Structure formats: C-alpha cells, structure tokens
Structure 1
Amino acid sequence: MRPRGITWSKVAQWLWVLSGPTPNEMTERLLSKPFHRKEILKPTHRPPFILLEILRRDISKVKTLEMLISYTRDHVLNLVDTPRSSVPKDQAITSAVFKGTSESDDASSLRKNQRRTITKSEKFGIEENAFAILISRLLYQTRRIWPSAMVDIAHLIVRYMQSSSVTNVSPLNPPLFIRFCKMNNYFLRLLALPSSIEPMQSMAYNWEAQKLLLELAGQFDPPLRLDQASYRAVVQVLAATKKSRRESRSMTFRNRSWPPWRVEQDGMDAQRSQEEDFSRVISAIMRSRESGYTQDDQLSIFGGVDTDGTPTIHTRKLLKSRSLDSSTRARDNHDDEGRVWAARIEATRDVYEGWGAFSEFCKKGGRPTISMCLAMFQKINYESKRSALQLDLHVPPGDAREVYPVSDDNFSEFYKSRLQPPTIQNLYQEMRAAGIVPSGRCLRFLLQHARTVDEGLGYLLDSGIHERVVAYLANGGESQIPPDVVAQVSIPILADFISLICRFAPRLKKISFDTELEMAEDFRSPTKRNSSPARSETWTIREARAIQHSHPRDPLTHAAFLLKSWRPKFRPAWYALLKCLARKDIVMVRNLVTDSSRTCDNHELAWRVTRAVLEDFHSCDLELDPEGFRLVCQTFAKYAEAAFNESQRHREGLIETSQIIKAECAKLTNGGVEVPSKVNTRLRYIVEGAHLHAYVRAMGLIGDHAAITSLLEWMVRNHEELDAIASLAANGQRMLRQTIVAIKAFCDISEHAVATAQPLVEQVESWGGWPGEEEVEYYLNRGHDQVQGAGAEPDDDEKDD
C-alpha cells in the first residue's frame, strides 16, 4: 500500500532520475531533462531523499555540484539570494571564541534586525536530521572537488538555523537551545576536515565558514555553547591556516639556542608581555580552557607553547579530527605520548633541534612510535634537500617544510658528532629493529622519497603487503587486476608508487657540449626498450596509446600500464605520470634524442602521450583541477618551444591541438565569462599565478594573442578573488606578477595585442602596472623557469581523497 499522495507516475519519475549512469546524469534528470519527452519533473515532485541519494555518489564535475547547491538553496530550503562572498582574507579569531557565551549589544540588535527581515512564508521541506545529513554530504563533495564552496554551505546552515527560530519566542526554549547547540557543534566539526585539493591553502575557506557559525552562536539568546570537540575543531583549522604577519614576525626574533626564547629588539619589546606573542592557536586554546575544557598538548606545541610553558616554533600543521568516544580514547592512549613528542620534533627549526627532541625521549626510556619516526624522517630529508641545493631560505621558521642551517659554529667536532642525526636508512633500520612496521603516512613518505625503485618495493614488503602483490606492482601481469591486489594496495599508495617509478624515467643530462642519456638502471623489469626507429611524421593518438598499453618495458610504460589497469579516481595518481611527461629532459624514445635534429619529435611524442593519458583520465569521469591543467600546459609549451623553428607540420599540429588546452581553460574559468549563479562563490577553483602563467606561456609560444587577451579580461573581472588567493601562498603575489610580465613578453610582437592588454592590466592597481623592459628581459632570460621557489607552502603528507 503506497502512502497517500504518492502516485505510480511520481515513483516512476524518481526511478528514472536515480537510474542515471552517473551522478552528473542524475543531476541533469533531476533538474531539467523531460520525463518521456513531455513532462518536466516539477519541484514539488522532487522529495529530498532523491537529492540525498545523488550526493551519496562521488561527484566529479564542479558544475554538477554547483547545480546541486543551487537546487538545495532554491527548492529544498526555499532561500532568497544573498550577496556574493569574496575569498576570505586573514582575520583575527571571532569574538565567539574569545568571549565564550557572552554577547554584545551590537550582536543582540543585529539578531533582532535579522529576525524582522525573515518572513514566516519561509518553510523548509526537510526536517533537522535530514538537513544534517544533506549538509554533511554536500561538505564531503566540496572537500573533494570545490573547497571554496564550503563558505556557501555555511551560509545555508546560518539561514536554516535563523529561519527555524523565527516562530519561537526569544529567548530560545530549552529543547530548541539544546538542538541548536548540537547542530552547530556538529557542523563546526565537519568544517574542520581538510579538503583533498590544496588542503593547506583551502584552510582559509574552512576558517571563513567556521567564523560564520561562531558568529551565529553569539546571535541567539542565550548564545549557543561550544563543546570540547568544537573548540578542538576551531584550533585545528587555525593551526593549518596561514600565519598572520605578526605570528611570522615573532618567529624571526627568537634566540637561536633552545628553547627559542624571544629576543628583545628594543624597549617596546621589553615592555611587551609574553602573552602578546601568543599565536591565534594558543589564544583559542586559552578560551577553551576558560570554558572548562582541556585541549591536546600536541596542538599547543604546534601553536608555539610546550606543556611546561617553554616556547616552541609555531608550525603550520594539518591535523584531522579524532573521535573523542571512549573506545577510540582507549585505543589511542598508548600513542598519545608519541604524538606529543612527534610534535616536539616537528616544532623545531633545524635537524639538530629535531634530533635533540628525539634523543631526549629515548634517554628517558621511551620507545619511539611511528609518528616520531615520520617526523624525524621529514627533518632529515629536508635537511638533505637544503644542503644539496644550498637553499637560501627567506621564510620564517615554521612556515614551510624547509629546515634552517644548523647553528654549530661554536661546537667542537666531538660535540657535533653527538648531535649528528642518523641517515634515513639507518633510522629506518632502527625502526624495524624496534618492531615498528611502516604504514599510513610514514609508508607514503618513504615511498615518495625512496632512492631506488627496489628500495620502495622493500618498504612495501616490510609493510605487510604480500609478495605476489608487490611483484604485480613491479612487473605487471594480466590486464585485469587480481582481487587480492586491489584489496591490499590503497589508491594513495598506488599514486606514490607511480610517482616513484616515474622519477626513474630516462632523462637527458647535459655535460658541457655533449649530450648523454641518464637511464634508469635500477628499474625492476630487465626487458630492454624497443629501439626500433620511430616514425614521428605519422604518429597518431592510437599509436601513442599503444605505448601505454604494451607490456611494461620502462618506467613510463609501466606507470601508464598501472593507471590503465587500475583506472583510479584519485587525480594525484594520474598527475604523477603527467608531471613526468612535462619535464623538459624526459626521453620518450632513445633514437629521438641521440639525433639532435629530432629532439622536437621527442617532445611531440610526449605531448601525444599526454593527450592519450588525458583521454583515459576523462574516461574515468574525472576533471582536471588547476594543478593538472598546469602540467598539461607545460608539456604543450615544451613541444611548442622546441617546434618554434621547425617544419610547418609541427606548427599546424600545435595550433590544431591547442584547442585541448583552451577547452580545459574554459572549464576552469567558466568559459572565460562570468556566469550568473545563485552560489556565492565566483571561482570554481583555487586558480593561482602559476596556473595562469602556464597557460599564458603555452598560448604565447604559438602566437595566440586572442586567447591571452581573453584570459586577461577574465583575470580583470575576478582580480579581487585572484589577489586573495595569491595572498594565501608565500610566493602567490610574485607568481601573479610573473603572469603579467609573461603577457607583455608575448604580446610585444603585436601592437594590437599590446593596445588591448595594457589598459586591462592598468585597471588593477594591485598588479603593479604594465611591466617595464627590464622585467621582460629578466623573464625571457631566466624568470620563466622559476615557477616554484623556496618558501612554498608546506608539503602535505596527510591529504587523502
């Protein structure tokens, strides 16, 4: 017996919507496609469970998610439009955290005004539990593909809670107050979870969304209360958010010895209290303690204060929420001390300080944990990187992974030997001798930084993965992945392994005026490469794809084989191969580089294989994000630069295939025009200067000034959002300026292009005006290679899709 009001026609419509092959198709059917070509599914015939069912699937396209958020706004919550919100800038912690449950007169009057503006005609077609599930699934999707939309979801939460209290007499009655407190605390915890795309930079959106709920808590009467988990969620977001200028500056005026006490620069510093140097993390922890809660010592150490009150180095750190239930607490108690000491190791400036903390724990009779070993692995690795590249660091300590040079000028050789940490290999042997098995983030870090493929395979064997599974990863096999392989190898581990083998792809190494091949001799497969001459003049996409699908013979072939076999929906796995193909010195076929006249053919083949990989990528229902777009642009630009003085065939092929780049750019920029949307967020992606520069360079090398001008017009329309995004990265403004310099460099050969581009650039004051000749000359000589520099955001070992 069917419920009253439910007809078989409606049920058939619901089945038609939910029978779509993909979430994108389901969304199109739900919103606009006709049913039986006659009847459109009316809003009143769309119950919330259909939307919830669609959101259970992994949505792959940002446009689809934008449509679902708008649908939730218009048809589920029946909300009116609100003004656009810009990308958040760094702000002080909201008064809701500092003042606890207190409320100012301004907040009280604001609440009354808001209540007067909401009409009683706003009725929601969804009850509170279903609404909580809906928001939870929307936030899950935004964390996967569209982090900036978290702010829009927070606006929906605010409007729902404000409207739900309209018919209630102020102050809130006890049952409603309890329900609102639970709801607010639940959403605050969800908003602390990091996104899969640029999780460190995306934390600015997490913080902006959390601030909306914190401000909302103070607008009710009585103000909503935050529980312990909510305070922790706020502290976690602040710990991962970019440090303010004051916080970064305070780290530069620290004693070089340990503990790093503040060095007073003048009389004003002497009069300033220690509390004035506290970070926002410590300030939030203090507010939590004032409310009667305790917070993890680990968060306090990353915030800049140790458990005994001595200072540490305020370090940006991405920490995921952990459940506070009794079962989880009992299970994690044995590792709590290890996490605290791992934080002490990380919250240091150089490898000596980190090793000192590690050694101190061992001297006290402690047994190192895997989290402590990972922290020490990171310190040793980045010290090796700094010393090998002789990096001149310009970032305050704690702002990036790079470590500072050790301060040992006054140390004797004997004392230096005592402070000297072991190598990664020796530390790993000690870890294994202690019975610690590599797993999780530690295993991933070891794979990412293994010296050889064999070493990486050894890490996998030590982690407990079966020998047959490791053999499949090393040498391939049948086209269908065996079930036991799928069960034992997670997709993030697969991505790291693909990145590892791609590091050993053959490359060109220039020595004086001679050129030789630096081949990957340690690769597992003993089969030699196919050395038959390549017919570059007749290469097709099908032939390029054959390289991917043949039996693995070299790192590139094997990486493509694994991707084709697994078909992962984890973009970093695909980007590992795209990054390798984008390298200027990568060797596709030996014969194409031993003959200097055919170097361009080598780059052409890399571009053709990239196109083939991109087809497989799209066949998995995936979209390129800005980082993947940058890699594809770099491969295209590499080929375009080599083909500058080559045959007409190369130039025609470049112009023809440039449509691929333009199509991907249109996806990132809404087709280059501002599309009216009921979602507040204007940009669908976190587009940085490095991504824009890669596209400008690719189009500039083929002389497509119209494409550059179109992008510049889009940049001018969205300059506020682009500037705010640039402020989230240490080198963001520099890379944005480099994009402007590249536009001038490539447009200079056309008077019309300059006449169009220059007025556009000069409209935006923050871009520094039209570049001068010196900037262009520097860029053409060397600047275009400096896409990434020291002082980048910290590497994220914890992101997981």
Structure 2
Amino acid sequence: MDEEMDPEDNWSRSVRAGVLMQEAGFAKTDYDDAVDILQGMSLDGTPTIQQRILPGKRRKIGIWEASIRATRNAHEAWDRFQNPPKAGLKLGLAEYTAMFEKLTQREADENTRALPGDRALNFPTTQEANLTEFEKARIRPPSISQLYERMQLDGIRPTGSCLQILVANTESMEMARKYLHDSDGTGALYRLMSQEMDVQALKKVPISLISACIQVMIRQEGKLARKYMIRAIELAEQRLGTDRTPLSDFIWGTILKHLSQHHYGLRIAVHQQLKLSLHIIKKLDGPSGITLPQFIQFSKTLRKIAKRELGQLSTEMESGSLKIENHALWPLYDGKSRHRDAMHWDTFDDKSGALDLFRALRASTLQMNELFDKLLSHERDSRQLLGAKKLEPLEGMMWRKDPARSEHAYEYMLSLAYLGEFQQMAKLLKWLIQEWGQPGVVQALSDVDEPPPYADFVETLCAFRLIAEPMLEQGEVESLREAIGAAGLNWSWPDEEAVEAYAEMQEDESINILARVLERVRLSWADTRREAETGAGK
C-alpha cells in the first residue's frame, strides 16, 4: 500500500499548512523550515522523524537544531550534527544542547507502544551487519565529555538548558562544579554546591538548574552522601520556600524517592532517614494537599525501610533470641506488647536505638494514614464541585485523585501490612467496597466484556488475606466478605491456594518473612493466654 501512496499523503498537518502557505504566495522563513523538519519533512522533501514533543514557544529553533532533534536516536543525531542541512551554518549552543539531550536520553523499552518522536527516548535502528569495527567506531556518537571538550574548543559556554542537562546527568560532583564554573567564569553558580550562597542570590538562579544540582547531589555515594543529601534538602528549602509548582513537586519527589535507599548508603541512622522523609512529605502537604503519586511514593519509602528492618527482626527470631520483643518493629505488629505506649515514655531501656526507630515509624505511619484521609476528603470535594457534570462511572473511577484504582490501593495495602496497620487495612478494603460497590459502577463493570486493569483487586485481596486476616477478629473479616457480595461486586474472595500462589509469586521473600513474624506474634498471644489461665487456675 505504501508503494501506491504519494509522499504528500504522509505529511503532517503542520507540513501541509506550510505547503499551502507557499502555494498562496508566502515565502518560508528559516523558522518555518525548522518546524517542517520537526513535523516530518526535511528541506529536500525527504521524511524526518516527526516530534510530538516540541521546544518551548519562547524561542525560535534553527534548522540545524531541528534536524538533530528530528531523529530516532543518538547515532542518527550525531550524523545530523556533523552534516548541516545548509552550507555556511555554524555550530552554536542550541545545536550542542540538542546533541547533549540525545546523548542523555533513556533507551526505549523493547515492549513500549510509543513510536520514535512520541517521547524523549532513544529508539534502536537496524545496524548494517557488514560494517567494519573501524567504521562502527567512526559513526559512533561521542561521549558527553568528548562532546563537551569539543564545545569548549569552539569557545561556547554551557548556559540555560545545556547547563541544566549537563549538571543533571553527571555522576561526579567535580564535573558538576566544572560545568557551573565554566558557565559564567565568575564562580557565582559554583557556590550552588556549597553553603555560601545567600537566599537572595539563590532566587536569581532558575529552578530548573536548582533541580539539576539537586539531582546530582542526591546521587552521591560514600562518606559524603549524607552531607550532599542534607545540602540538597537545604537548597530546595532555600530556593523553593513555600512555592507549589509542578517543578517544585518534582524536586521534592525526587529527594523523597532517593531517601528510600538503604540507610547505610546515606550514612545516617534509620530513624533519621524516616525523619527526613517525614520532613519532606510535610513540605509537600501544603494547603492544596499532596498529590496521589507523592502519597504512593511516601508509602513505598516507608515500606522499603520497614522491609529492611523486618529482615533483621526475622534473623533475631530464627536465632532464638529472647529479645525479639524489644525490636522496634515488634510493637507495630503486636498490639499487646509492653512497648505499645512507647510514644509517651521509654520502654526500650535495654536496646539502644529501638525507641527512636519505633517513634519515627509510628509518626510516619500516622502521617501516611492522615494523608490518605486528606486525599479522600479532597476527592469528595472535587466531585461535589462537578455537580451535574458527572463522568461515566468507570471513567470517573479512572481519573480519581485518591487510591481507588487497584494499582494504588495495592501499594497502600502493602505498606500498611509492613507497618502493622491491620485495622487500617480493613478500613481500606471497606472503603474500596463502598466506592466500587456504587450501583452505577457495578452496572458499568457488568456491561463490559473484561474489567479494566485498574478494577482488578485480586492482589489487593490476596495481600489482605495473607497478612491482615489472621490478625483481625473473624467476625470483622466475615463482614467484609459479606459486604462484597451485598454490593454486587464480582470480586472473588481468594481461597488458600490463591493466597499461597500470590505469596510464591512475589519478587522477594519479605512478605513470607512478614507472615512468619506475625505467626510468631500470634503464638506469643496464645502463650500469654495459657499463662493467664494457668495462673487463674492456681
């Protein structure tokens, strides 16, 4: 079919508009040519890779820069970089910026449905099989350092987007400092990496560059990891203040995500790690509340930290230690523990660090549950504002800003499990039944041949049955099961075989370890009851 088509049949609307403009007697400018290149047609009429992501409207793009951007990957971009579309053109900052951007883009996933140009990714192309190693090396794009060296030889300083890309993608603090120093030659930006820059001077620095500096800081490892993490948080606080923008949310979210790594990597204690995470989430929780992705990231951070501590508790338990009840996690799982009131006074007098960790875990958990309630409240307010302008039931469920979709509910359910919030797990499941059990939603689900992925709660139910059910009263669990049937939902209550299969399919052993620890907790309850009965019999 393609053989029967004319080239103009594949023109984009933008290219067609340019052709119509010429036919009407208007001459094209260089900017018009650049737009055509980005939208699928080069100067000689041959096709380029149409770009869905365009540069900002505040600047005009040149044809050489456009030809570099309208490629599938860094190899093609490098070829365009070396061969200007017109004779006499001179390389400038814009062309180098476009090339640096191509060099730093991620490789597209092999299973992605996106096409070249849809997203800022590098897409593979078929390589010639009979090329010699010398030829392959000749056409291979340079490294960032090699290209930067060439840019310096051309007398071009890194500024604007170019500086941001270079700083954000370097692993070395030394190189980040070099980029900042080279950008103006005065050392003013260099002080971003130190404690010397005052707040007023900092306000003159673009937030995008602040974001780049923070990204390289939080990636640092070794002895200086703690120093740079603290500096990144201070830098964000000084520059962002109380501002709430998409970029500020991105910056705080990036810091929060990196805080979930092992505390050894950050060179801080676990309770300090939790306090920093709590500090950041409170920064994000402004008058308009946090976003759903931020809430999920915070819950994941707490879960990762609890997972690592759970491994230590399990090791102590298997070694036959008599002090496992003094571990900070134990009173989270054992509501009858003597440490249940440790938020008010020290009951961990025989184990250093446990009190601080327990209090940090409890404070973070309470904050997470409070944020959950806020998300629900904001969603209710939003739906009230919609009034009569209601969406279709399933569409409305898909666009909700609370954890009603299965992927978000599952993440929250798992985090609650590792933090010992069994009653909250039951509360979450009850709320999900209420929301998905609305008559309109139930009817919409029954009308479709296959429920959408965000309505599949099998894993959520399995996690609840595996972890929460044994820790709750049987009557409470049974009431939830009956509520599913009463609501008319087609959710299947997982049987024992399904729960076992779910546990076996997990990427690590942590959830099985958690189940064994909780079994030990229940055994301690049984031992306590027997001792009480024996004492009463005497």
The amino acid that maps onto 2:255 is: L
The aligned residue for residue 411 of structure 1 is 131
The aligned residue for residue 230 of structure 2 is 557
* Deviation sequence 1:375-398 (CA, Å, 0-9, x none): 21122223xx54xxx964534322
Residues 589 and 741 of structure 1, relative CA distance in 2, 3 Å threshold: farther
The amino acid that maps onto 1:639 is: I
The aligned residue for residue 470 of structure 1 is 190
Q: Residue 626 of structure 1 contacts residue 668 of structure 1 at CA under 8 Å; is this kept in 2? A: yes
1:361 partner SS: coil
* Deviation sequence 1:43-87 (CA, Å, 0-9, x none): xxxxxxxxxxxxxxxxxxxxxxxxxxxxxxxxxxxxxxxxxxxxx
* Deviation sequence 1:615-667 (CA, Å, 0-9, x none): 34447x67422332232121122233345555433446556643322332344
Residues 312 and 374 of structure 1, relative CA distance in 2, 3 Å threshold: same
2: CA distance, partners of 1:272 / 1:783: 57
Residues 346 and 776 of structure 1, relative CA distance in 2, 3 Å threshold: farther
Residues 342 and 761 of structure 1, relative CA distance in 2, 3 Å threshold: farther
Residues 465 and 622 of structure 1, relative CA distance in 2, 3 Å threshold: farther
1: CA distance, partners of 2:34 / 2:500: 49
Q: CA deviation at 1:483?
A: 3.0
* Residue 265 of structure 2 is aligned to residue 582 of structure 1: no
2: CA distance, partners of 1:369 / 1:302: 19
Residues 316 and 669 of structure 1, relative CA distance in 2, 3 Å threshold: farther
- Tell me which of 639, 643, 650 is aligned to 2:305: 639
2: CA distance, partners of 1:690 / 1:584: 25
The aligned residue for residue 609 of structure 1 is 276
1: CA distance, partners of 2:214 / 2:504: 36
The amino acid that maps onto 1:366 is: L
Residues 632 and 270 of structure 1, relative CA distance in 2, 3 Å threshold: same
The aligned residue for residue 798 of structure 1 is none
* Residue 54 of structure 2 is aligned to residue 376 of structure 1: no
Residues 783 and 616 of structure 1, relative CA distance in 2, 3 Å threshold: same
2: CA distance, partners of 1:740 / 1:368: 55
2: CA distance, partners of 1:755 / 1:284: 61
Q: Residue 626 of structure 1 contacts residue 685 of structure 1 at CA under 8 Å; is this kept in 2? A: yes
Number of residue pairs matched by the alignment = 422
* Deviation sequence 1:417-440 (CA, Å, 0-9, x none): 321221111111211222222222
- Tell me which of 780, 790, 795 is aligned to 2:506: 780
- Tell me which of 291, 294, 304 is aligned to 1:625: 291
Q: CA deviation at 1:711?
A: 4.5
* Residue 214 of structure 2 is aligned to residue 498 of structure 1: yes
Q: Residue 495 of structure 1 contacts residue 576 of structure 1 at CA under 8 Å; is this kept in 2? A: no
Structure 1 unmatched ranges of 5 or more: 1-267, 323-331, 507-518, 524-552, 593-601, 724-732, 765-770, 786-801
Question: Among the aligned pairs, what percent are the same residue?
Answer: 21
Q: CA deviation at 1:456?
A: 1.0
* Deviation sequence 1:661-690 (CA, Å, 0-9, x none): 233234444456474214758757598876
* Residue 76 of structure 2 is aligned to residue 398 of structure 1: no
Q: CA deviation at 1:467?
A: 2.0
Q: CA deviation at 1:477?
A: 4.3
- Tell me which of 146, 150, 154 is aligned to 1:430: 150
* Residue 408 of structure 2 is aligned to residue 695 of structure 1: no
* Residue 364 of structure 2 is aligned to residue 660 of structure 1: no
Residues 418 and 662 of structure 1, relative CA distance in 2, 3 Å threshold: same
Residues 461 and 643 of structure 1, relative CA distance in 2, 3 Å threshold: same
* Deviation sequence 1:8-29 (CA, Å, 0-9, x none): xxxxxxxxxxxxxxxxxxxxxx
Output the aligned Cα RMSD: 4.2
The aligned residue for residue 572 of structure 1 is 250
The aligned residue for residue 707 of structure 1 is 428
The amino acid that maps onto 1:433 is: L
1:633 partner SS: helix
* Deviation sequence 1:346-395 (CA, Å, 0-9, x none): 2222322111111111994422222221221122223xx54xxx964534
Q: Residue 672 of structure 1 contacts residue 710 of structure 1 at CA under 8 Å; is this kept in 2? A: no
The aligned residue for residue 256 of structure 1 is none
2: CA distance, partners of 1:309 / 1:374: 26
* Deviation sequence 1:739-793 (CA, Å, 0-9, x none): 74541331233454566568979569xxxxxx977984575237999xxxxxxxx
The amino acid that maps onto 2:411 is: A
Residues 362 and 711 of structure 1, relative CA distance in 2, 3 Å threshold: same
Residues 275 and 554 of structure 1, relative CA distance in 2, 3 Å threshold: same
Residues 381 and 468 of structure 1, relative CA distance in 2, 3 Å threshold: closer
The aligned residue for residue 314 of structure 1 is 50
Structure 2 unmatched ranges of 5 or more: 314-326, 334-339, 341-357, 391-395, 446-451, 470-476, 492-496, 512-538
The amino acid that maps onto 1:317 is: I
1: CA distance, partners of 2:156 / 2:230: 34
The amino acid that maps onto 1:660 is: Q
2: CA distance, partners of 1:289 / 1:783: 66
The aligned residue for residue 353 of structure 2 is none
The aligned residue for residue 173 of structure 2 is 453
The amino acid that maps onto 1:497 is: C
Residues 606 and 759 of structure 1, relative CA distance in 2, 3 Å threshold: farther
The amino acid that maps onto 2:279 is: A
* Deviation sequence 1:525-551 (CA, Å, 0-9, x none): xxxxxxxxxxxxxxxxxxxxxxxxxxx
1:554 partner SS: helix
The amino acid that maps onto 2:38 is: F
1: CA distance, partners of 2:23 / 2:505: 54
What are the within-5 Å matches in structure 2 for residues 10-49 of structure 1?
none
Q: Residue 699 of structure 1 contacts residue 708 of structure 1 at CA under 8 Å; is this kept in 2? A: no
1: CA distance, partners of 2:50 / 2:150: 29
Residues 756 and 501 of structure 1, relative CA distance in 2, 3 Å threshold: farther
The aligned residue for residue 648 of structure 1 is 330
Residues 341 and 615 of structure 1, relative CA distance in 2, 3 Å threshold: same
2: CA distance, partners of 1:755 / 1:291: 71
Provide TM-score, normalisation by structure 2. 0.65
What are the within-5 Å matches in structure 2 for residues 219-298 of structure 1?
268-279=1-12, 281-282=14-15, 296-298=32-34
The amino acid that maps onto 2:74 is: V
2:265 partner SS: coil
The aligned residue for residue 788 of structure 1 is none
Q: CA deviation at 1:490?
A: 2.2
2: CA distance, partners of 1:782 / 1:344: 46
* Deviation sequence 1:448-475 (CA, Å, 0-9, x none): 101211211211112217425523x223
1: CA distance, partners of 2:379 / 2:288: 21
Q: Residue 406 of structure 2 contacts residue 457 of structure 2 at CA under 8 Å; is this kept in 1? A: no
The aligned residue for residue 67 of structure 1 is none
Q: CA deviation at 1:411?
A: 1.4
Q: Residue 39 of structure 2 contacts residue 51 of structure 2 at CA under 8 Å; is this kept in 1? A: yes
2: CA distance, partners of 1:391 / 1:366: 35
* Residue 63 of structure 2 is aligned to residue 347 of structure 1: no
Provide TM-score, normalisation by structure 1. 0.46
The aligned residue for residue 96 of structure 1 is none
2:83 partner SS: helix
Q: Residue 349 of structure 1 contacts residue 403 of structure 1 at CA under 8 Å; is this kept in 2? A: yes
